[in-house]
Amino acid sequence: YRAVNIALVNELKMLYDKLNIDVWEVIDAAKTKPFGFQAFYPGPGLGGHCIPIDPFYLTWLARKHGEQTRFIELAGEINTHMPHYVINQLGEFLNDNSKAIKGSKVALLGAAYKKDVDDPRESPSFELMKLLLKRGAVLTYNDPHVPSLPKMRHYPDLPAMDSQALTPEYLAAQDCVLISTDHSAYDYDFIVQHSKM
């Protein structure tokens, strides 16, 4: 059910962007409910060994018994599409600053699939990296928990990379800094202060 809830939030994020509604304000308003509220936040996709995969076991079992799980499948589609959505948004932001993804220096913050872990399994960061490289970005990354990118079977063509130190000079040298994983170690005021975009 968590994958479905996250898919709903991600889909609302895409819709709210088109309607010029601030998703963060909506979530803050929903938090005022006095009971039974659990916040789900939009993100670049799902990762890990459970949420992106386990719901499809139920789908397979349901099909075996002649049933359909359209909502689970739709959630999977939405969550799988999020890296593409993020890269399209990044392309628009760069374009608004007279830049293209091709040739732009992009730093991706976070390779782990979730906050404060060193596990990159099924991380949407790898899909973001693949899409950025495919569009010609000059890509580097930082992750305090993943010092070097491991070989991933779904991404055999990703180059070997090491995490770069998060210094003012490194951030200032980038055309864009893309936050993929919300690690506690990231000081967002520091990142914004030293980044162009």
Which residues are marked as active site? 50
Cα separation, 64 vs 73, whole angstroms: 15
20 DSSP 8-state letter: T
Structure tokens belonging to residue 115:
């906050």
H runs (alpha helix) in the chain? 2-19, 23-30, 54-64, 70-96, 124-134, 168-172, 188-194
| Long-range pairs of 167-172 with CB within 8 A, sequence gap ≥ 24 | 168/193, 168/194, 170/107, 170/140, 170/142, 171/107, 171/195, 172/196
Distance CA 88, CA 93 (A): 9
> Is residue 34 classed as helix, strand or coil in its secondary structure?
coil
